[in-house]
Amino acid sequence: MAQHDGDDDHRQIAALLDRYIDGARSGRSADMHELFHAQSTICGYVGPDLFAGPIRMFYDWHDGNGPATGIRVTDTRIDVEGSAASARIDIDDWTGHRFTDYFTLVRIDGTWRILGKVFHLHDG
C-alpha cells in the first residue's frame, strides 16, 4: 500500500467536500455520484421520521429539492487515519434548512469516496 501524506489527504477530502457543496448548489445529484461509493448509505431524522437507506434516497431528495444557491458551510472538520477518514460539515441555508453532516470515507485505489452520510437536520 502506498504511503500518503496527511496534509495531501486532508486537501483531497476538503476538495471532495467542496464538490459536494457545488452539487448542492447545482441541484443535480448527478454532480455528486462519483463522490459516493455505490454502496453508500444515508441516515438521519426529518422531524420524527427516520430517513435511512441507500444513498439513492439522498439523490432522489436532492433532485426533487432543487438548487441550494444560498448554501454556506460554517464549519468543517476532517480526521484521517491511513485509508479511513471522517468529516463533519455544518451547513446553513440548504434551501432554507440547516444541517450537520457526518461522513465516513475510505481511500479506494488512491481516491477518497464517501461510504456513509449521517445527518442532523436542525430545528427552525
User: In the CATH scheme, what architecture does the domain 6-121 have?
Assistant: Roll (3.10)
Whole-model pTM: value is: 0.92
Domain locations along the chain: 6-121
pLDDT digits (tens, 9 = 90+) for 28-60: 999 999 999 999 999 999 999 999 999 999 999
b/e 12-39 (16+ beta carbons within 10 angstroms → b): bbeebbeebbebbebbebebbeebbbee
Say what the pLDDT of residue 4 is.
61
- Is the confidence at residue 1, as pLDDT, over 50? no
Say what the pLDDT of residue 124 is.
75
pLDDT digits (tens, 9 = 90+) for 24-33: 999 999 999 9
Query: For residue 64, what is its C-alpha cell?
Result: 426533487
Ranges of H-type helices in the chain:
6-26, 56-65
**Rounded Cα–Cα distance for residues 91 and 100 (Å):** 6
**Rounded Cα–Cα distance for residues 55 and 79 (Å):** 22
